[in-house]
Amino acid sequence: MSFFDEAPRQRLSLPARFLRLHWPLIALIAAVATVGFFMMHSVGRGQAPWAQQQMTRFIVGGGLMVAIALVDVRFWRKIAYLAYAAGVAGLVAVDVMGVVGMGAQRWIDFGFVRFQPSELMKVALVLALARYYHDIGPVRAGKLLWLIPALLMIAAPCALVLIQPDLGTAVLLGLGGFSAMFLAGASWWFFILMALGLGGAIWAVFASQGTDWQLLRDYQYRRIEVFLDPTQDPQGAGYHINQSMIAFGSGGVEGKGYMAGSQTQLDFLPEKRTDFIFTTFAEEFGMIGAVSLLALYTLLVWMCLASALRIRHSFGRILAGSLAMAFFCYYGINMAMVMGLAPVVGVPLPLISYGGTSMIALMCAFGLMLSAFVYRDAPFDTRRG
């Protein structure tokens, strides 16, 4: 039996699918990414090839986004569990044959390209949870018993990522998964219990420090201590956040101007093209620029959520809404991190930070959102939600 036997296929010609694409959303994605190109040119002082490489990745990712968007969303539902299994296999492969970079084993090196499976796992997890909750229906989604499979689906990749170790990505995986559960209608009791459990986990983390059952690595405890008081080790663990705060302050209201940020151009600011690119932007364009960029991100998330509300089937609504909320968490955590409002956990700024796998994974996520929007009226088997 073919996949489309479960419901009549919504027949849309290729031109019709192009017309149904959410072009304002695509234009906004391109606008945010363009900010990243200019920032790569700035941090490279006009000499490093980072801007050209970032543009190439965006073009490739944009092609993938459109290609994914033009495929019937019911196909993505069909392969959701397969994508999840492939993502878990990739994380296991990292543990077996991954290469170490920046103190963590997160990448698989194919020679011509270095690949980070955890980035694609962020998308595969939400895709699989969207299928799970679509299949069980809204009634069972609100019962505690049906939370167990979803929690196991979230826990497996989170545990594998923590082994690398990569706390930031593990947090993002959890937030993406819980977003899907929330939108699917999971019981409020679950979230109350989760809040209590989180409080208990935080207590356990601090209580375990210095014991045989210590839950975090020493450098991760050091990050927490520095977050609480960055001045206690200004040349060591607190160097990143101290330099970030200096750059923010020096930018003032209007900024120092494009390619004129002293902290960035004189290489005082670490990780200036990846995790701390927002600091570079704020130093050059000031508070006005930082607030404007935040407004662009907020508009992008609002547009994604508004499009999700127009999707008639639960699979597409959960998928698009969860990916939008996950995107909000990505840039929210990064901005809070570089401003000293959250511990430094190594989360890039989406669409702007330098990175190949993260760019491709993000564009694939947008492609899935657009596919759900293009096929927003696609008929699904009503017995499956």
- Domain check: are 60 and 105 in the same one? no
Looking at the structure, tell me whether residues 132 and 89 fall in a common domain: yes
- Cβ 74 vs Cβ 312: under 8 Å: no
Assigned domain for 193 exists: no
Number of other residues whose CB lies within 10 A of the CB of residue 52: 13
Total domains in the fold of the chain: 2
> In percent, how much of the chain has pLDDT > 90?
48
**Structural domain range at position 149:** 79-185
Q: Which two tokens stand for residue 58?
A: 């965006």
- Please tell me whether residues 239 and 344 are part of one structural domain: yes
Pair (34, 138) in one structural domain: no
188 CB-near residues (< 8 Å, 6+ apart): none
Does residue 168 contact residue 344 with C-beta atoms inside 8 Å?
no
Q: Is 348 left (phi over 0), alpha (psi -120 to 50) or beta?
A: beta
pLDDT higher for 197 or 133? Answer: 133
Residue 262 and residue 379 in one domain: yes
Q: Is the same domain home to 145 and 171?
A: yes
CA count, 13 A, side-chain hemisphere, 167: 15
Residues 18 and 109 in one domain: no
Strand ranges for the chain from DSSP E: 99-101, 104-109, 114-115
Q: Quick check: is 327 in a domain?
A: yes
Count of positions (residues) in the chain: 385
pTM score, two decimals?
A: 0.88
pLDDT digits (tens, 9 = 90+) for 106-156: 777 776 677 788 889 999 999 999 999 999 988 888 888 889 999 999 999
Region 77-87 average pLDDT: 95
Give yes or no for residue 300 having a pLDDT over 80: yes
**Complete DSSP assignment for 103-126:** TEEEEEE-SS-EE-HHHHHHHHHH
Task: Tell me: do 25 and 134 sit in the same domain.
Answer: no
pLDDT at 352 (0 to 100): 93
User: What pLDDT was estimated at residue 323?
Assistant: 95
Look over the chain and give the mean of its residue pLDDT values, rounded to a whole number: 86
Residue 7 has pLDDT above 50, yes or no: no
Q: Are residues 240 and 312 in the same domain?
A: yes
Q: Label residue 157 by pLDDT band (50, 70, 90).
A: very high
The answer, yes or no, to whether residue 12 has pLDDT greater than 90, is no
Which residues are paired to 107 by β-bridges? 99
How much is the pLDDT for 8? 44
Residue-wise pLDDT tens digits, 200-233: 888 888 888 888 888 777 777 877 777 777 777 6
CA-based nearest residue to 276, from 76, 7, 43, 38: 43
Q: Could you read off the pLDDT of 311-320 as tens digits, one per residue?
A: 999 999 999 9
Burial tier of 131 (Cβ tally within 10 Å: 0-12, 13-18, 19+): buried
